Amino acid sequence: MLTVTVIAIAAAGVVAGVIGIIVGAVASRRAARAVRECRDLVQGAVGSRGTVDPKALRDIAIVRYDALHEMSGQLSFSLAFLNAVGDGVVLSSINGRAETRTYAKPVVAGQGTEELSPEEAQAVHSARLGTGLLPSEETTRPARGQRRRSQKPPIASAAQGPR
């Protein structure tokens, strides 16, 4: 009778071990699938089925600067719009006293298909790093009614006449 009990306990142990192995294998498969889904989301491979679309614009940066010596106040700018793989466009506006010129250049994989100006390249680089829209000393606005120290006082136009 003791040998029958030992055999029954041994058989129960073997069955429990097999069940444990099966449960472990199922849990491992579920964990691997969850990791794969998370990796796909992070890498943007889900597309329209999920929340991440690799073609959607997500990296944006602006660089303001004085392009012409006749103008101050950083009225010219380069603005980069890129998707997750670095494709997009960089728009530049060069502002002068008499005219404004606007340029658009395509960007593929973080590189301009045409030669980029230093400011355009900086905008693309900042967009790729995700640092393009942080306020800086040059771009923060003064309180209403106050001027920046570097800003010149307004000049009266000839049409206004003397004051």
pLDDT digits (tens, 9 = 90+) for 8-22: 888 999 999 999 999
Number of domains in the chain: 2
What are 162's two structure tokens? 């003397």
Domain assignment present for residue 135? The answer is no
47, 70: one domain: no
63, 89: one domain: yes
pLDDT digits (tens, 9 = 90+) for 57-81: 888 999 998 887 766 778 889 999 9
Provide the whole-model pTM: 0.51
Domain assignment present for residue 80? The answer is yes
* Phi-psi label, residue 93: left if phi above 0, alpha if psi -120 to 50, beta otherwise: beta
Closest CA to 43 of 35, 29, 27, 54: 54
Domain that holds residue 125: 57-129
40, 61: one domain: no
